[in-house]
Chain A
Amino acid sequence: MTDLFGLGWRPAIADRIFAGADQLDVVEVIAEDWMARPAREVRALRTLAAHVPVVLHGVSLGLASSAPVDPKRLEAFARVAALAQPLFWSEHLAFVRGGGVEIGHLAAPPRCAATIEGTARNVARARAVIGSAPLLENVATLIDPPGSDRGEAQFVAEVLEAADCDLLLDLHNLHTNAVNFCFGEEEKKEREEEDFLRGIPSDRVRAVHLAGGRRVGVPGRAGVTRLLDDHLHPVPDAVFSLLERVGALVPHPLTVILERDGLYPPFEELLSELSRARASLAAGRARRQAAA
């Protein structure tokens, strides 16, 4: 088994992914993209899966919550999983609704015992319906999650242990949170990133997400910015550096997915970013071997 490198499937670049499938080891499919489609279109998912291995990614289950996951959403997810036959499936360490109110996106949950216990219960429910446990993904956040009583690395490690799950390590999310909560102190940012990588169980890292983002200004606060993980920009150098560090920490094979949600460059540029990812991971692995 070797490392796999691939792209997130998006309708806007579907034709290019089909045409360039021989240059991809794997394609990540968003489950929700296929839940409400007519049967004719869903058959395209089978066609895709016949050409290239697929992994399935969820964005709306809201597993990281003290409230129970919606069983109907799990059943819908399970139907897509049965069609795609993915290598694995994943979801975010996020909540997306509360008290019947849909937030509309992934919200970082309170990093506390109740969320850890609730996530473990939700993962058990998901495992029962879908047939396997998800990889859980660390999320980016613009707001320091209210109600938290522990740091992110500790929270992630405790969730993985309690839920007995592996990690989808999103390196741009890690970078974003380090940037947003170091408040301009570069050394603190790098320490935060290193502490995170050292604080999570490396044996549970199974997959990696790469993406880019942009700075956004705080309303009414001239010059004060935070980083938004918008998936609309190239992967920054800092994220490739983190991937190299992951290569030095994790000896086993990884699935590395480049996420791009819009402002699409020529397909060759996406493939070029994947090539750089291969080189970064390989450089980290070489560092590990040299140090052994």
Chain B
Amino acid sequence: MSPAFEAYLARIYTDEAERTLFLAAPRARAEAAGLAPAEAEALEAIDRDGLALATESFERKRASSKQRVPRR
């Protein structure tokens, strides 16, 4: 997977509007973002439960990181 794939993941992990559009039509939205067909196919099979939880978790971390750095 390319840096563009990671960039698109970062976008759907952080941008609720883009995530909503993506979940409505994953392959089309990924291809519109310039991803290769294999990358768009990989995103079509995304773990939707995991995406919902991960994005919630990232959002909480971003909110708390205004006070301190993230860590795990």
Contacts and interface: CB of A to CB of B under 8 A. Distances in A.
What bracket does the count of chain A residues touching chain B fall in? 35 or more
A99 B71 CA distance: 21
Given A146-B43, A146-B47, A147-B1, A105 B57 contact: yes
A60 B71 CA distance: 8
B72 A98 contact: no
A98 B7 contact: yes
B14 A67 contact: no
Contacts, number: 139
Contacts of B59: 104
B32 interface: no
Given A104-B62, A110-B1, A219-B52, A59 B9 contact: no
A141 B14 contact: no
A114 B8 contact: no
A66 interface: yes
A231 B64 CA distance: 14
A273 B2 CA distance: 42
B72 A147 contact: no
Contacts of B47: 143-144, 146
A103 B2 contact: no
Interface string B40-53: 00110111011111
Contacts of B11: 98-99, 101
A147 B42 contact: yes
A101 B72 contact: no
A259 B42 CA distance: 34
B15 to A, nearest CB: 8
Interface in A55-100: 57, 59-60, 65-67, 92, 95-100
> What bracket does the count of chain B residues touching chain A fall in?
35 or more
Contacts of A65: 3, 6
A105 B53 contact: no
Interface in B1-48: 1-11, 13-15, 39, 42-43, 45-47
Contacts of B53: 142-143, 216, 218-219, 226, 228
Given A101-B10, A107-B9, A146-B43, A141 B50 contact: yes
Contact of A33 (B4, B52, B69): B69
A142 B14 contact: no
Given A97-B10, A146-B43, 13 more contacts: A32-B69, A66-B1, A99-B3, A102-B10, A102-B14, A106-B70, A107-B10, A147-B39, A147-B43, A216-B57, A218-B49, A218-B53, A228-B53
8 contacts: A30-B71, A33-B69, A57-B71, A67-B6, A99-B3, A107-B13, A109-B6, A110-B5
Which 8 A-B pairs give the minimum distances between C-beta atoms?
Answer: A99-B7, A143-B50, A98-B10, A104-B62, A98-B6, A98-B7, A105-B61, A144-B47
Interface of A: 11, 30, 32-33, 57, 59-60, 65-67, 92, 95-107, 109-110, 112, 114-115, 139-144, 146-147, 173, 180, 216, 218-221, 224, 226, 228-229, 231, 259, 261
